[in-house]
Amino acid sequence: MYLKEYRLIFTISSLILILIASIPAISLIIPTSIGNEKFSEIWILGAGRTARDYPFNVTNNESNLVHINIRNQMGYSNYYILYVKFRNVTDPLPDRNKGNPNSLPPLYEHRSFLKNEEIVEIPISFSFSEISYNEEKCQVDRLKINDHIFNISKSTIWNDTNRGHYFQLIFELWIFEEQNSSFNYNNHVGIWLNLTKVQ
């Protein structure tokens, strides 16, 4: 080999070694996205803190319990609001894909400030009263959430396919965003409830 070829091989080898040795320092300057996905989680568990004991068939003045869990995986502390909403089958759903919340006003809210990786469990007890039935229609006038009573006056008609009167409790997660200094819709979970009259 000629001297020029040895120099070229030596120069390339030296550059490769320098790059390999400098990877730890480069990673401090250039952030990588691998394993650094930022998100917030929300999930719902039943009274026994399992995914199998959700309330479903609900009667007048019956107390029910669910546990809403929120986890901050954003990499920094965050301020959250949990909104509880009540809808019938004709009311709109939130749209996760478009980032749009349900258009109904929230009945109940719970605020939490969570450090990164922190989880909060929020017990939500609820019951219905002043339920009435008229032919195919079920009307609910009052909903109690964690000892707060709300006049809701919400009705639904009989669902012949699923044999019941169905409503849904929605739990929306909103997160404070500093760039616009406001809370924005993040995600939601919900449970279906059958308020069919017990014969």
Dump pLDDT digits (tens) for 98-146.
889 999 999 999 999 999 999 999 999 999 999 999 989 999 999 999 9
The CA-based angle 78-38-101, given to 5 degrees, is 70
Radius of gyration of the chain (CA): 27
% residues pLDDT > 70 (the chain): 81
What local confidence, expressed as pLDDT, does residue 182 receive? 94
The position carrying tokens 């809808």 is 87
> What's the DSSP call for residue 100?
B
Confidence class of residue 96 from pLDDT cuts 50, 70 and 90? confident
Q: Which of 95, 106, 107, 89 is nearest to 157 (CA)?
A: 89
Confidence class of residue 28 from pLDDT cuts 50, 70 and 90? very low
Average pLDDT, the chain: 87
Asked if residues 186 and 176 have their Cβ atoms less than 8 Å apart, the reply is: no
The residues near 194 (Cβ < 8 Å, ≥ 6 apart) are: 56, 57, 58, 164, 165, 166
Does 84 have pLDDT greater than 70? yes
The position carrying tokens 């404070």 is 176
**Tokens in use for 54?**
């959700």
Does 30 have pLDDT greater than 60? no
**Tokens in use for 160?**
């012949």
Residue ranges per structural domain of the chain:
1-30, 39-194
> What's the DSSP call for residue 76?
S
Rounded to whole angstroms, the Cα distance separating 65 from 124 reads 6
Rounded to whole angstroms, the Cα distance separating 56 from 122 reads 19
Rounded to whole angstroms, the Cα distance separating 105 from 138 reads 21
The CA-based angle 145-160-45, given to 5 degrees, is 35
Rounded to whole angstroms, the Cα distance separating 86 from 144 reads 11
Residue 20 has phi, psi (to 5 degrees) of -60, -45
Asked if residues 66 and 46 have their Cβ atoms less than 8 Å apart, the reply is: yes
Task: For residue 85, count other CB atoms closer than 10 A to its CB.
Answer: 21
Domain 39-194, CATH: 2.60.40.10
Does 69 have pLDDT greater than 90? yes
